[in-house]
Amino acid sequence: MEDTDYRQALAEARKQAANKQPNEREENHMLMEIVCGDVLVAEQYTRQQENEWEIAELARELLRHAHTLKQRGHALDTLHAAALRMAEVIQRHPRLQLELLQFAKDLSQPAYCDDETATEICTQIGYLKQNISLADEGRLQDIEPSRNMLRRDPVEWTAQWEEVIDEANRKVAEQLADIPKGMGFCHAYWHKLASVLHDDYGIAWSSPAALNPRVMFD
């Protein structure tokens, strides 16, 4: 069964929210529609492996409206869940992921956030803060790799990377648009991404295949 296309619903929610609402209650409803739509579209892009360079902007939009709704005390449990779900799908944006998790942490309440979840959020925040700080200090060699995950190039923790990676991924997707996404596509994608990062942004980047030579990537 094909996924429902949530983009149209999100676009409609944005259009309605752009108009002045007659009261705060209706405005809150429309802003929450956008917040939930941002999550659903981001998750859809992740499942379909398309337009993933748009997810970071969806996360930023979510946070803008979520802060407004938080100040109004509106649907805090839903905001908490939305921030956590967005943090799950945001890729290669450690600072943005940190902002989402901190927002969720601030909303953690026993009624909808058990002790295990709260502890996991704090652990993730600590890990992100440590590695971001090391990257900001230029100490890439000291960055702690994530547990139970493939090795990644530590340059992915830098602010420079985070500023350009979405545009770089969009360029690569456009250049490889006519290539079938079958066996070996990831290698072609990573090769092209490394070239774009180097040539357009001056970033030297090693792919997961280069850093994990014993792992078979399809």
Asked if the model's pLDDT at residue 6 lies above 70, the reply is yes
Q: Which domain holds residue 117?
A: 1-144
Question: Is 128 in the same domain as 161?
Answer: no
Residue 1's pLDDT is: 37
We report the CATH number of the domain holding residue 34 as: 1.25.40
Question: Is 107 in the same domain as 176?
Answer: no
- Spell 102-122 as b/e; 16+ CB within 10 A means b: bbbbebbeeeebeeeeeeebe
Asked if the model's pLDDT at residue 177 lies above 80, the reply is yes
Residue 168's CB is within 10 A of a number of other CB atoms, namely 22
- Which is nearest to 46 in space by CA: 104, 80, 4, 88? 88
- Which is nearest to 21 in space by CA: 13, 12, 30? 30
101-123 pLDDT tens trace: 999 999 987 666 788 888 999 99
Question: Is 65 in the same domain as 96?
Answer: yes
**Mean pLDDT of the region 57-86:** 97
The proportion of the chain whose per-residue pLDDT surpasses 90, expressed as a percent, equals 76
Residue 21's pLDDT is: 67
Residue 218's pLDDT is: 72
Residue 58's CB is within 10 A of a number of other CB atoms, namely 24
Question: Is 191 in the same domain as 171?
Answer: yes
Among residues 109, 125, 144, the one where a domain terminates is 144
Question: Is 135 in the same domain as 177?
Answer: no
> Under a CB-based contact definition with an 8 Å cutoff, are residues 79 and 35 in contact?
yes
Output the six-digit token pair for 93.
């944006």
Q: How many domains would you assign to the chain?
A: 2
Specify the pTM.
0.92
**Mean pLDDT of the region 127-144:** 97
Question: Is 75 in the same domain as 175?
Answer: no
